[in-house]
Structure 1
Amino acid sequence: MEHNNSDGSDTQHSSINEADPKPDDAAENEDEKKEEAAVLPPASLEHVSEDIDQFLVTMHKRNDGSNTENVEIPGYVEKYMDIVEEKILKYDVGEGKPKWGEVAEEDLWLLTTADRISKLMALLNDDPEKEVSDVRRSLVNRVNLVHQRTMSYLEEDFRFLIEESRIPSELDPGGNSNDNYQNTFDYKGKQEVKDEEIQHDANFPGYSEDAIASLRKIARAMLSGGYESECCQVYIISRRNAFEEILQKLGLERISIDEMVQKVQWETLARDMIPAWVNTLKQCMAVYFPGERKLAEEIFAENSSVAEGLFSSLTRGLVIQLLNFAEGAAMTKRAGEKLFKLLDMYESLWDVIPKVDGLFLEDSAEELKTEMDLAKTRLGEAAIFIFCDLENQIKSETARTAVPGGAVHPLTRYIMNYLTIAGDYKDTLEQVFWENSERGDSSRRQQQQKKKEHDGGGGGSEKEAASPFAVQAMKVMDLLDASLEGKARLYKEVALRNFFLMNNGRYILQKIKGSKEMSEVMGNTWCRKKSSEIRNYHKSYQRETWNRVLACLNQEGLSVNGKVHKPVLKERFKSFNSLIDEIHKTQSTWVVKDEQLQSELRVSISSMVIPAYRSFVGRFAQIFDPGRQTEKYIKYQAEDIETYIDELFDGKPHQSIGRRRT
């Protein structure tokens, strides 16, 4: 028998098609192998590897359906196992295996070795249920052990690369708003964040092209070697940890529904957690999920089903966490200050649901959209309940003490500030009310009819007329008007009643006009009607207050036969002075915070009183004797009256002109 002293390839070509040696020849063959081993030099790893690769190629080309268990395994397979095990032993007892990237030759050796042994495994384990010789079984076990060891090294390298080579996220969380609507609703405008304005994390997912290429090679080797589960587990754990880091930086805490409902204060949710949730949802759909999909597709480029499965597993878990948060927020105790934060969440879900189709496969996308729609519906139901509860807040406000000075009532401020903010959410509220129209009113026809009645049969489009939100807003305004009329009756003075209604009506109208959205909701007809009401209150106030003053300056009844009746004139001046003092003392404590209305009132009063007073004094002053008599009855100059009028309605008492002069 002839031998090739370098790699034993002649043995390969002469033995591939031979059957297993007969049992009687086993001892003789064993002796021959020992003699060959004693004569041949140590096998070269390079040569033995080439022999095995050729053997595997030849076996692949045969592909004739014959049973591979009848094929004799060349002796250089054992030699190859010896060399590989020796190198592995050096890893274990020496300084350990180099980390991936430290020695390029070692990385390449490990990949090619793993690939070669995986192919041997597939050949040797062609049909594991069939009986094989003890020698073959021993070889199979040995190859299995070496295969497991090489795969464990690859698993370590995969873990090292995916965890240690990632550039940490340096995102700016952003999106956190300190708006607090609970008490005063000091609101400076709704902050809308569009996708193009979202702060993109330039580092995400945080791997260089070289790192991704290495991860792809390792993943390919592990999956082809039957270690898909181990590879995917490392990937899932690492990427989940990466997302946990991202969520922490975005300010989103992991919290259960029960904790949200029972333990967390709403102020904490509104100030920190809900803005963080909104920001996280938008960031995930616009930045992180697309980036995560691309990463999975690049690393598992040769197995799209694995990439899709990993992406779905990672992202679905996060989506469910976000939806649980939304469910918890919707389940918290419902109160007025919560409406707008819930609408922020509703809007966010509304915006991102259409993007699901582009990120997930059809089945997963439909399932996620269904769950997101359900969470959105829960938020919408809570919003409807809260908004409609404004009715109860107005009805339950039964103050028995009048607001000092006829000022704008706190209820008026609360409701109008609330509606102003609601105007910023007009489109969303209309959508929510349409989706839950049975909660907004009992009948859509009733809604349309009520809106048309307020608009005088027109003044709005059919869409506006049919809006359940507009109808509900009208209902709130009607209830507020009725409540204010009841509160006006708490004032004993008729003038102050009208002043109070004028003051509050003006505040209501200015708030509506100041909101483009609420102006559209209420309509031009409503605004004209409200303006007319305010003018009537203004006229009634002037009639009750200043007509009495003007009556004192009326020239009728002062002359008898062309001669001024001095006692009557004296009484007129005395009455005028007394009324001016009384009005100044009283109405300087009345309150008009609206500077424009305050100025309009003062100008309108001055335009009535000052010219009439100048004319009256100019005509009758000479009737009195100069000196003390004139000073006694003509106490004020026109300029003094102007000063008095300019001191009205600022909510604080002023000294009389006489006291100032002393």
Structure 2
Amino acid sequence: MEKSISFSKDGNRKNDTVGTPKHGSNDTADAKTLSESQIPGETEENDINIAEDHPSSESSTSLAQVVDEVDRFLQALSSTVEDESKYPEAPESVEILSTMVDSMITDYNDGKSLIRFGKDPENDSSFVEALNRVSELSNKLGEFPSLASSLNRMSAVLQRAMSFLDEEFRTLLEDWKSEKSKNNEENCNSDRCVLVDQNQQDHQSDQMEDQDQGIPPTFVFSPETVSKLNAIATAMISAGYEAECAMAYSVSRRSAFKSALDDLIGHECFSIDDVQRMHWEPLEGEIATWIAAVKSCSAVLLPNERSLCNAVFSSRPSSSHSLFGDTARAAVIKLLNFAEAMVLTKRSAEKLFKFLDMYETLRDLESSIGNDAGGSYPSEVAAETATVKAWIGAAAASIFCDLENSIKSDNGKTPVASGAVHPLTRYVMNYLKYACEYKDTLEQVFRQTDQEVKDDDDGDYHDHRDRDRESETSPFSRQLSTVMDLLDANLEMKSKLYRDPSLSFIFLMNNGRYIVQKIKGSSEIHQLMGDTWCRKRSSDLRQYHKNYQRETWGKVLQCLGQHDGLQVNGKVSKPVLKERFKSFNAMFDEIHKTQSTWVVSDEQLQSELRVSISAVMIPAYRSFLGRFKQYLDSGRQSEKYIKYQPEDIETLIDELFDGNSTSMARRRT
């Protein structure tokens, strides 16, 4: 036995159980069944009446019977020759089918629920099946002028059915609004799902791992809702109402996307003027918000929208492709507008890293669009994304190159006190350290810039650097070398501001050691500059060290090491010896007084300097003292000229370069 939908003589639908027709039944028997339930009298347009004198013995007709008769009628129409006299007459099943569909719509409309379609899957299936036949009849009857009355009837019922389905379709699509009003931050739970293809889930979860935002309610649909949407879309498309269905979907989903992006970005949008007027601090926050929105859009929203589109319009892939493309275009263009506005803002060094963050974000978006297996994204979306990414990259390259101008323009004439590390050195090296954390991105940016220069020169491109070196190094490493060369030249110029040559070498050592230590602490910079460059820097430091020792301690060692003039007629001259001790004491006191105020902030360099000074000074002084001390009378005379013991010299050397001008005074009290 099968459960079927039946209609009584008054036109009201009822559930009835009828026997399945025997295999032996023929067309004549089926026609008899239908003819006995025919509706006498004319039916007025857009109104269905079932005659009260319908025979009670045939009080109901199943949908299966009606559909079977309609199918035979459609087959007969398809095989009819052009002879109008041979057109078959419309069987009563055509009228009954209209009545059935009309009654079903009335029943749906009488429901109390906001969403009526989908409450009874079996009933919905019967409705769609009946509607499909109405659609087929409407299309076929149009070919036969003599069947115009039946066509009018079918068209009226079909129009009413499409109006009902269109309303249901829109209501289902707008379900996200009620969800959003309940909880604006609702996450996907056990009875709701997001339409993400299985092969996308792992990749997307990696991309969204660090994001705290949940899936917007605009993109959460239960499997049941998706199934209903698909059934309605399929029915409307089959009935020739594809444009209306697509319009309803497009309007709703664009609104959903706009709401989701507004929630993610936190505002409607910023105009170019708005962005340009903003101070950098709040703009930094807007950039961070924008980056999160783009990542969410790329990793979750757009893939889920594509999956939803494919699921709803599975019967018409071309419509799915077109509708998703329109939605994606609107969403991406809105996000790109902010990036375009950023390109037009005033350039400054602190903006580099945010621009690089934006570049990487757009690069990932471009990759996501390009790797879309279904080719769902319109070509202009990919092209526009690539263009804006290139603009952001060019802006980042320009900002980085401004570092050269900053170094060149730093030509102050006041030397840094105590020969310490210059603020310019700290600024440039820290800037480069952070910049090199974006090494791969900057490589792409400068490679893009180099290519644009070559293209602008129509292939006649000649860099001022050696072409062999250019072929062996990357664009960014060459740029980095240029910055380092400029910094070296600037520091060399600043070292000449010191009147004391020894202090100029301390200054060069301080800054050189700071640069080397920064490079050692950054594998990215070290890799870009190369071992040869790093070895040269270390060699330069050793040379500065030698120059300092020669300039500072050369005369002192000469005082202790040259014995010429100390002997007169083969004997040590006490007056000359006393003068030599006085000269040594004066020179050493002056060096200690001055250089104890100098600063060597790097502890290792400070220790190396003290050790190297002690290594030459202590043995020289001990030898001089041991050889000539005996020629001075013991007592007060000896104490007057022999001011220091070797241990005192070592102690005082250990007080050099600590920036303490009172060390000698403390020692002498």
Q: Structure 1-normalised TM-score?
A: 0.78
Give distance in 1, aligned partners of 2:359 and 2:109: 60
Alignment of 1:321-336 (within 5 A): 321-336=334-349
Identity of aligned residues (%): 41
2:208 equivalent among 151, 175, 199: 199
The CA deviation at 1:229 is 4.3
Give distance in 1, aligned partners of 2:522 and 2:594: 34
Alignment of 1:320-399 (within 5 A): 320-359=333-372, 364=377, 366-399=379-412
Task: Name the amino acid aligned to 2:281.
Answer: E
> Corresponding residue for 1:304?
317
Deviation by residue 1:109-154 (Cα, 9 ceiling, x = unmatched): 3453255245325424656698789965773565246314532452
Residue 590 (str. 1) matches residue 598 (str. 2): yes
- Whether the 8 Å contact between 1:440 and 1:472 is mirrored in structure 2 is no
Residue 469 (str. 1) matches residue 476 (str. 2): yes
Residue 71 (str. 1) matches residue 78 (str. 2): no
The CA deviation at 1:556 is 0.8
SS at match of 1:38: coil
Task: Name the amino acid aligned to 1:483.
Answer: N
The CA deviation at 1:283 is 4.5
The CA deviation at 1:399 is 0.6
1:614 equivalent among 611, 622, 640: 622
Residue 554 (str. 1) matches residue 561 (str. 2): yes
2:492 equivalent among 485, 492, 495: 485
The CA deviation at 1:357 is 3.6
Task: Name the amino acid aligned to 2:53.
Answer: A
> Corresponding residue for 2:524?
517
> Corresponding residue for 1:422?
435
Task: Name the amino acid aligned to 1:159.
Answer: L
Alignment of 1:28-177 (within 5 A): 37-38=52-53, 40-41=55-56, 47=61, 49-64=63-78, 66=80, 71=90, 74=93, 75-77=95-97, 79-80=99-100, 83-84=103-104, 86-88=106-108, 90-91=110-111, 96-97=112-113, 99=115, 104-105=119-120, 107-110=121-124, 112-117=126-131, 119-124=133-138, 126=140, 139-140=153-154, 142-144=156-158, 146-155=160-169, 157-159=171-173, 170=187
Task: Name the amino acid aligned to 1:422.
Answer: A
The CA deviation at 1:373 is 2.3
More displaced, 583-592 or 507-516?
507-516
Distance 1:592 1:230, change over 3 A: farther
Residue 541 (str. 1) matches residue 548 (str. 2): yes
Task: Name the amino acid aligned to 1:97.
Answer: S
Distance 1:152 1:112, change over 3 A: farther
The CA deviation at 1:546 is 1.6
Distance 1:630 1:56, change over 3 A: farther
- Whether the 8 Å contact between 1:336 and 1:387 is mirrored in structure 2 is yes
Give distance in 1, aligned partners of 2:379 and 2:393: 21
Give distance in 1, aligned partners of 2:76 and 2:310: 34
Give distance in 2, aligned partners of 1:483 and 1:78: 92
> Corresponding residue for 2:658?
650
Deviation by residue 1:50-98 (Cα, 9 ceiling, x = unmatched): 453234322333242658896355553564366446535633xxxx236
The CA deviation at 1:262 is 1.5
The CA deviation at 1:400 is 1.8
Task: Name the amino acid aligned to 1:537.
Answer: Y
Give distance in 1, aligned partners of 2:75 and 2:177: 41
Give distance in 1, aligned partners of 2:519 and 2:71: 83
Deviation by residue 1:241-271 (Cα, 9 ceiling, x = unmatched): 554565466557553451464123333344x
Task: Name the amino acid aligned to 1:353.
Answer: E
Distance 1:647 1:280, change over 3 A: farther
Task: Name the amino acid aligned to 1:378.
Answer: W
More displaced, 550-559 or 4-13?
4-13
Task: Name the amino acid aligned to 1:199.
Answer: M
More displaced, 230-239 or 598-607?
230-239
The CA deviation at 1:406 is 1.2
1:213 equivalent among 211, 224, 227: 227
- Whether the 8 Å contact between 2:101 and 2:130 is mirrored in structure 1 is no
More displaced, 318-327 or 600-609?
318-327
> Corresponding residue for 1:404?
417
Give distance in 2, aligned partners of 1:236 and 1:120: 27
- Whether the 8 Å contact between 1:400 and 1:490 is mirrored in structure 2 is yes
SS at match of 2:78: coil
- Whether the 8 Å contact between 2:233 and 2:245 is mirrored in structure 1 is yes
The CA deviation at 1:382 is 1.7
Structure ranking higher on relative contact order (CA contacts 8 Å, 6+ apart): 1
Deviation by residue 1:349-408 (Cα, 9 ceiling, x = unmatched): 444534434326559454333222222221232233223222222221121211111112
SS at match of 2:663: coil
Give distance in 1, aligned partners of 2:646 and 2:573: 23
SS at match of 1:545: helix
> Corresponding residue for 1:185?
none
Distance 1:296 1:583, change over 3 A: same
> Corresponding residue for 1:294?
307
CA RMSD of aligned residues (A): 4.3
Distance 1:209 1:556, change over 3 A: same
Alignment of 1:9-24 (within 5 A): 13=31
SS at match of 1:487: helix
Give distance in 1, aligned partners of 2:253 and 2:559: 88
Give distance in 1, aligned partners of 2:102 and 2:342: 64
SS at match of 2:61: helix
The CA deviation at 1:606 is 1.9
Give distance in 1, aligned partners of 2:42 and 2:252: 54
The CA deviation at 1:604 is 1.3
- Whether the 8 Å contact between 1:158 and 1:218 is mirrored in structure 2 is no
Distance 1:616 1:401, change over 3 A: same
Give distance in 2, aligned partners of 1:582 and 1:602: 17
Distance 1:371 1:210, change over 3 A: same
More displaced, 553-562 or 597-606?
553-562
Distance 1:273 1:338, change over 3 A: same
Give distance in 2, aligned partners of 1:360 and 1:126: 39
The CA deviation at 1:642 is 3.0
Structure 1 residue runs of 5 or longer lacking an equivalent are: 172-193, 453-461
- Whether the 8 Å contact between 2:356 and 2:396 is mirrored in structure 1 is yes
